[in-house]
Chains A and B, each alone.
Chain A
């Protein structure tokens, strides 16, 4: 059986499983559609949250992000896990006690203001729609690479599968499919990593292998990696090369952005009790850590593997010739993600970092530039099984895993979008007397519409697709996170303060991002160049969410000081969400 047939069978089986779950877990009420009737076991919810959270970016891109930069990109590891501590300690239990279905629901009721609700809906829609485009585009790439179908056809298939379980089952169907998708993606991610760790270090666990000994040289793996990188003019892997201040702010932005993402928050509405919401965040972190502690090992080992593949006799000796390159390089060249150009015409692949400091060595060896002209970092995870020479079954698993990661996140985002429209706009603002049956129908229709919009945008991704992820985190960090936190921890915070805070937070973050990346990301409309020298105090646009959040808090408290505090019944409401007793069951309202 050839690789292609195997890929189709494995991916097809996983899709059949998701659709089977959709038929089994149909939603019959709005409570089932929005919050799975609050009956999900905390461990299962943790697993579903992990799949919901880990997107195509985590599965495909993160190991590559770390591999090509090293220590400085630890920000992603700490930022994307540290957010769960904030979620568990500061938000999830209280929002679960509040017992509503959506994030704007909380903001609208707590700040007793339709304006606050609508501002929250706008924030939610902006960040969720931009985020979902990336997921659909990622699914399209996985289809075209592994199933050899046209990207648009692949997207239609993906949209159909999501449609089945999201529209039929709502949160209930999505939860159980996400549990299945987590299992698929974690198996797909860890198996190649275990084999590579065994090959390089003899350690079964990649987490130990990363700090273990490189069997061939007898040196610690990371010391070996630093050594070969230095010999080729690259900067070391384990040292700190970036701006410390910016590194701290960026990590913080990722943390509070993670805690403020609505599609993650709503997962904690599905557990039966407040204490379950606290524990469930811990389980989510356990399941996320299974991938997030393997990723840096995959990154370091893949980087070393790539270099030893090109320099089989050590970096001081000649590299391999272009004609004798391994099959995986050949097949990735066809996709355009890997590029080679024989600059000095010797038929060998010189891979190094052509810096000024390295110019002399390069000249001595007759090198005329780095001959790997294009090395897309997403290749690392996808080609990992091929680099390590693993059986075709593992490659098919990677295809199914990448799709599971993209689809599970897309479904969570689509639910956040559709519930914001049907519950927060239609039920709360436009037509409060809508019957439950019609609200459920409205939820299904808005879900279907969201899928259509996401598919069309996924087929024609706007040029700024990569940058908008930074925007989504920046917006979540600077708008929703501070508003929810003040709603719980400050009894007196009033509607004027919260609304001003959210507007100042989003406004300043958007302004800073657009200043460097262009107005609405249109190239050429940026007012300052997007370089470290032009950034205010060296703060990168992606790190500004932290500053936006601080401005949000300051503005809110300034306005609070000048206006009347929240009315007594709202303060009583805050008192009641602070204690767990009395949270059982779903509250309709």
Chain B
């Protein structure tokens, strides 16, 4: 693998990690804690959306994020020819 494609592969990975981490922080620290007052108007089963994110939504999002990352990385690996044979 050439230096150029190695650095392109790594920046593709970093870009994907950054997107996932932004969502990770948004659903937990954001919707679950800091931004809860902003979305308190949306009610869910006797409480508000922020409570749902704090106790259930964030966990479900985490699962989706990890599988999404694993899935996307597999195709990025193939694209740059660094997948495991």
- The reply to whether the CB of B38 lies closer than 8 angstroms to some CB of chain A is no
Interface centre among B51, B69, B81, B82 (most CB of A within 10 A): B51
Interface pair B29/A251, CB less than 8 Å apart:
yes
Interface size on B, as a range, is 35 or more
For residue B21, CB closer than 8 A to chain A, the reply is: yes
**Interfacial chain A residues near B39, Cβ < 8 Å:** none
Tell me which residues from 16 to 62 in chain B have a Cβ below 8 Å from any Cβ of chain A.
Answer: 17, 20-21, 24, 28-29, 32-34, 36, 44-48, 51-52, 54-56, 58-60, 62
The interface residues of chain A lying within 8 Å CB-to-CB of B28 are 78, 82, 251
Contact A282 B29 (CB under 8 A): no
B81 to chain A, nearest CB (A): 8
Instruction: Known A74-B32, A89-B21, A275-B77; judge A81-B62 contact (CB<8 A).
Output: yes
Interface residues of A in 226-282 (CB under 8 A from B): 226, 238, 240, 244, 247-248, 251-252, 273-275, 278-279, 281-282
Give the residue name and chain of the A residue nearest to B65 (CB): A85
Give bound CA distance, A274 to B73, whole Å: 10
A85-B24 in contact given A77-B54, A279-B70 (Cβ < 8 Å): yes
Assembly CA distance A358 to B61 (angstroms): 40
- In the complex, chain A residues 212-233 whose Cβ is within 8 Å of any chain B Cβ: 212-213, 219-224, 226
Contact string, A278-294, partner B, CB cutoff 8 A, digits 1/0?
Answer: 11011001100100110
| Contact status A78-B45, CB under 8 Å | no
Across the interface, A78 reaches (CB within 8 A) one of B9, B32, B47, namely B32
Q: Cβ of A580: which chain B residues have Cβ within 8 Å of it? A: 77, 82-84
Contact (A89, B69) CB under 8 Å given A222-B47, A244-B33, A580-B82? yes
Contact of A285 among B32, B51, B66 (CB under 8 A): B66
A296 to B56, CA, bound (A): 9
- Within 8 Å by CB of A210, from B20, B45, B82, lies B45
Assess whether A372 is interfacial by the CB under 8 Å rule: no
A292 to chain B, nearest CB (A): 6
Q: Chain B residues near A220 (CB, 8 Å)?
A: 45-47
A71 contacts partner chain B, Cβ-Cβ < 8 Å: yes
* Interchain Cβ contacts within 8 Å, total number: 140
Q: Does A575 count as interface, using CB distance less than 8 angstroms?
A: yes
- Say whether A584 faces chain B, with CB atoms less than 8 Å apart: yes
Chain A residues with Cβ below 8 Å from B24 are 82, 85
Given contacts A81-B62, A211-B45, contact A296 B29 (CB under 8 A): no
Q: How far is the CA of A88 from the CA of B1 in the complex (A)?
A: 24
Q: B6, A579: Cβ atoms under 8 Å?
A: yes
Instruction: Tell me which of A81, A93, A281 contacts B58 (CB under 8 A).
Output: A81
Contacts of B67 in A (CB 8 A): 279, 282
Inter-subunit contact A275/B29 (CB<8 Å): no
Interface membership of A307, Cβ < 8 A: no
B54 contacts across to A, CB distance below 8 A = 71, 74, 77-78
Q: In the complex, which residues of chain B have a beta carbon less than 8 angstroms from the beta carbon of A71?
A: 51, 54-55
Q: What is the interface of chain A, defined by CB distance below 8 A to chain B?
A: 66, 71, 74, 77-78, 81-82, 84-85, 88-90, 93, 207, 210-213, 219-224, 226, 238, 240, 244, 247-248, 251-252, 273-275, 278-279, 281-282, 285-286, 289, 292-293, 296, 575, 578-584
Query: Could you list some 23 contacts between A and B, CB below 8 A?
Result: A77-B58, A78-B28, A78-B58, A81-B58, A82-B62, A84-B62, A85-B20, A85-B62, A89-B66, A210-B56, A212-B45, A213-B45, A220-B47, A223-B46, A248-B34, A251-B28, A275-B83, A275-B84, A285-B66, A579-B9, A580-B82, A581-B77, A581-B85
Across the A-B interface, the 8 shortest Cβ-Cβ residue pairs:
A220-B46, A211-B45, A223-B46, A74-B54, A222-B46, A278-B70, A282-B66, A579-B82
